Amino acid sequence: MNFPKIDYERGFEDLTNDSFEKSSSLKGILSLVTGINIKQPLNYNPLEGFARLSEVEYYLFEKINSFSDVSKIDDNEIIDIFHKIQCWGGRGGRRIYQGEGFNENFKLDVYKKVVNNCLTLDLENDWVNEVSGWTFDLHEIFGIRTSFSTKHIRFWLYKKLKDNTPPILDEVIQGKKEDETGIWISGLNFYNPDSPIDRYKKKDLKRYWVEMIKKSKEENISLLDLERILFNHFSVRRDK
């Protein structure tokens, strides 16, 4: 897989829209989940008390790192973490709150099973194959697809894999096509038009993770660093 020729030595960075004030996407999801335009608005703001996405990210890593047994985590705390990850991810996470509402759309049993798998991952196993299956298991939940299932996986596997937790695969990383021509104009697919990633296919998610692992080793950086460097690079290019 081809990658952009950029500076990979700068390490982990905050998101380009780290401040809540600068993120229209964040404002959009928080307005939706607590507003009156959905059947079951939340009775609280999941990101109350935070001012930056980096603060939420740090909180989630620290919180999840403190867990070891899903049976000892209160269901309400698991649901709160779910909401925090969805909101951290921006308005693309809105679908689970729409339609019949969160209580009908969410499947706690599915989510807890994946959480348990993450907290008990056997580090001797090939996580790419195993975790790709768990990622697609999350798609049993209405409104959750790869862009957000990989966000949840990324956070919950931090307990086991730390800075080499599986990177997110969303539209920014994958890339977009120009409507009129069908040509890839952004993301990794801009650099790989003959073998583009389809984030809705499990085989492509596995290929992406394998290539990201390879690239991180070449650059001597963590997967967390690599994911963020690419995300910020592609985000800036999309905004131009």
CB distance 148 to 157 below 8 Å: no
- 132 lies in some domain: yes
Q: 3-state class of 222 per DSSP?
A: coil
The residue out of 161, 189, 210 marking a domain boundary is 161
Q: Which domain holds residue 26?
A: 16-161
Q: Which pLDDT score, from 0 to 100, does residue 223 have?
A: 98
Q: Which pLDDT score, from 0 to 100, does residue 200 have?
A: 98
One domain, residues 67 and 143: yes
The single residue listed with the structure tokens 């085989």 is 203
One domain, residues 197 and 220: yes
- 86 lies in some domain: yes
One domain, residues 155 and 184: no
- Per residue in 210-222, pLDDT (tens digit) is 999 999 999 999 9
Pick out the chain residues at pLDDT < 50.
239-240
Q: Which pLDDT score, from 0 to 100, does residue 238 have?
A: 55
As a whole number, the mean pLDDT across the chain is 96
One domain, residues 154 and 215: no
Contacts of the segment 132-138: beta carbons below 8 A, 24+ positions apart: 132/202, 132/205, 132/206, 132/209, 133/202, 135/166, 135/202, 135/205, 136/202, 136/205, 137/110, 137/113, 138/110, 138/111, 138/114
The residue out of 141, 161, 181 marking a domain boundary is 161
The residue out of 161, 189, 208 marking a domain boundary is 161
